């Protein structure tokens, strides 16, 4: 009897693991469309229904031939702005941009489209033989998506939406020292070069002048690859060379929602240096919408998976997603 029970148990385990593998493969290759309303008190009537479509953490994941399934999902949605919040490629040294460029070629509405770089994307600039945007960025912009370097303004009737790059917006001034102390700013080869520092100084001045023109009813939205956790907000507020802006919303990715998720427990790990280890992070800060210091934060789980640990290069109980974020007065 015990032998029969053991044999049946092994069969059940094998069947269960096979079913889990089949489900995981299917789940990693489908696309969910996650919709999120952002309720804002005093939202101007012209901005009622203002919608942003977010693409995060593609990591060169392919959804159909030449990204056909992903393109279809994006083109089926209404939006005013489309944003790409970094990690489109597998690592910084990649020179084959086909998976990302195929996606951009197929997207129909890119009249207002922005990109901010992630930690696995190629450098945005190069300094030799002269300072300029990198080939990766130039190819992206030729396909209709703008690198968000500073701040841009969208006019809708009498209302305005300001969209800015978070890492620049929190700076008081630009110098090699301030850049060196800002989390997530680029390292070599160009991060502290004279040309890069001068260029960033010009961008910061443009940003600061634009914010002086912002009225109380205008929206201020920041894009960043990395979520801005509570501890970092506190540090920015207390800093002498940083300034916290009155952001209405910060949009980011990077966490993948905790790439491996366990039923009931949620995310097992997120790559976050502000948490001691990243294991078993606060589950209400891993994905979706939260609010801290009167600022709303929205984190996408994204589409692809990280290969930081090669044998865990997949998502578990964590469907790939694109995000449709809509502003409403309630």
DSSP 152-221: EEEEETTEEEEEEEHHHHTBS---HHHHHHSTT---TTTTT-HHHHHHHHHHHHHHHHHHHT--TTSEEE
Under-50 pLDDT residues of the chain: 183
- From the list 164, 133, 154, 147, the residue with the least C-alpha distance to 86 is 147
The CA-atom distances, in angstroms, between 33 and each of 59, 146, 228, 300 are 18, 24, 23, 11
C-alpha gyration radius of the chain: 21
Q: Looking at the DSSP assignment, which residues form a beta bridge with residue 298?
A: 251, 289
Q: For 265-276, how does the pLDDT look when each residue is reduced to its tens digit (9 = 90+)?
A: 999 999 998 887
Residue with tokens 């009225």: 215
Strand-pair category, 125-126 with 51-55:
unpaired
Q: What pLDDT does 177 receive?
A: 65
Distance, C-alpha 288 to centroid of its chain: 12
Which pair of tokens denotes residue 307?
A: 């290969």
State residue 286's pLDDT score: 96
pLDDT on residue 10 = 82
| pLDDT given at position 93 | 92
Q: At what angle do helices 98-106 and 68-75 cross, to 10 degrees?
A: 40
Joined together, the tokens standing for residue 14 give 């094998």
Q: How far is CA 325 from the centre of its chain?
A: 13
- Cα–Cα distance measured from residue 141 to residue 144, given in angstroms and rounded to the nearest whole number: 5
Q: What confidence tens digit (pLDDT) does each residue in 30-75 have?
A: 999 999 999 999 999 999 999 999 999 999 999 999 999 999 999 9
Q: How far apart are CA 217 and CA 220, in angstroms?
A: 9
pLDDT for residue 114:
98
CA distances from 160 to 39, 99, 249 (A): 17, 34, 14
The fold for domain 33-328 equals: Purple Acid Phosphatase; chain A, domain 2 (3.60.21)
Q: Where are any strands of DSSP class E within 28-88?
A: 32-39, 51-55, 81-84
The reported pTM is 0.94
Give the integer Cα–Cα distance in Å for 181 and 208: 20
DSSP state for residue 67 in the 8-state scheme: G
What backbone torsions phi and psi does residue 130 show, to the nearest 5 degrees?
A: -155, 165
């Amino acid at each position: 009897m015990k032998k029969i029970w053991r044999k049946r148990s092994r069969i059940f385990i094998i069947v269960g693991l096979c079913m889990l593998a089949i489900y995981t493969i299917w789940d990693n290759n489908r696309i969910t469309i996650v919709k999120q309303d952002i309720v804002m008190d005093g939202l101007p009537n012209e901005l009622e229904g203002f919608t942003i479509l977010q693409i995060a953490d593609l990591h060169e994941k392919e959804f159909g031939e030449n990204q056909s399934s992903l393109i279809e999902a994006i083109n089926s949605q209404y939006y005013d702005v489309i944003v790409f919040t970094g990690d489109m490629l597998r690592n910084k040294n990649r020179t084959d941009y086909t998976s990302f460029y195929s996606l951009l070629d197929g997207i129909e509405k890119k009249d207002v489209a922005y990109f901010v770089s992630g930690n696995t994307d190629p450098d945005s600039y190069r300094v030799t033989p002269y300072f300029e945007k990198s080939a990766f960025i130039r190819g992206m912009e030729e396909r209709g998506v703008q690198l968000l370097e500073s701040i841009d303004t969208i006019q809708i009737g009498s209302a305005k939406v300001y969209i800015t790059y978070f890492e620049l917006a929190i700076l008081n001034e630009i110098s090699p020292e301030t850049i060196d102390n800002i989390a997530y700013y680029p390292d070599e080869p160009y991060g502290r070069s004279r040309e890069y520092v001068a260029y960033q100084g010009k961008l910061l001045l443009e940003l600061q002048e634009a914010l002086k023109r912002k009225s109380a009813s205008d929206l201020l939205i920041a894009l960043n690859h990395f979520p801005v956790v509570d501890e970092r907000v506190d540090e920015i507020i207390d800093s002498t060379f940083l300034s916290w802006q009155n952001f209405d919303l910060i949009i980011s990715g990077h966490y993948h929602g905790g790439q491996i998720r366990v039923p009931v427990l949620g995310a097992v790990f997120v790559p976050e240096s502000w948490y001691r280890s990243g294991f078993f992070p606060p589950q209400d800060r891993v994905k979706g919408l939260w609010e801290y210091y009167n600022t709303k934060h929205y984190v996408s789980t994204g589409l692809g998976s990280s290969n930081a640990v090669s044998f865990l290069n997949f998502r578990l109980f964590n469907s790939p997603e694109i995000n449709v974020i809509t502003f409403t007065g309630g």
